[in-house]
């Protein structure tokens, strides 16, 4: 009888633990979806998407040298004060970052709103 009770308790414990672990795994996916929606809305601020391969060579060189071999995954461009400003989505060691740069390869700091 004692073994039966211990077996039932162990089974119930494993069941509850697996449900809790599954719930914890699902939360980051929801966060990623929220962040991707926010990113999509952010990119609609007058920037037009451009092909990463079509970026000026100065920008490609700046990304490779200044960002330690980061990879530009997406790019957008807009005309600002007569100059082209590029918004880049970079993959830096598996971490996504946004960066702003002009056509000559000069990095631009994004002003806080």
pLDDT tens sequence across 28-76: 555 555 455 555 545 456 899 999 999 999 999 999 888 887 899 999 9
| Residue 17 in this model has a pLDDT that exceeds 70 | no
Region of 22 (left: φ > 0; alpha: ψ -120 to 50; beta: rest) is alpha
Decide if 4 is inside a domain.
yes
CA distances (Å), origin 77, targets 31, 83, 94: 27, 10, 24
Same domain, 38 and 56: no
59-68: long-range contacts, CB 8 A cutoff, minimum separation 24: 59/86, 59/88, 59/101, 59/103, 59/105, 61/105, 62/101, 62/105, 62/106, 62/107, 63/88, 63/90, 63/101, 66/107, 67/92, 67/99, 68/92
Decide if 88 is inside a domain.
yes
Whole-model pTM: value is: 0.58
Percent of the chain whose pLDDT exceeds 70: 67
Tell me the residue range of the domain where 72 lies. 47-108
Same domain, 33 and 51: no
């Amino acid at each position: 009888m004692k073994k039966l009770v211990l077996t039932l308790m162990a089974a119930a414990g494993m069941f509850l633990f697996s449900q809790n672990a599954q719930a914890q795994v699902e939360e980051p996916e929801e966060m990623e979806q929220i962040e991707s929606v926010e990113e999509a809305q952010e990119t609609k601020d007058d920037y037009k998407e451009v092909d990463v391969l079509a970026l000026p060579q100065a920008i490609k060189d700046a990304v490779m040298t200044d960002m330690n071999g980061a990879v530009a995954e997406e790019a957008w461009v807009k005309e600002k004060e007569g100059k082209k400003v590029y918004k880049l989505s970079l993959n830096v060691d598996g971490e996504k970052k946004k960066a702003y740069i002009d056509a000559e390869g000069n990095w631009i700091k994004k002003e806080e709103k």
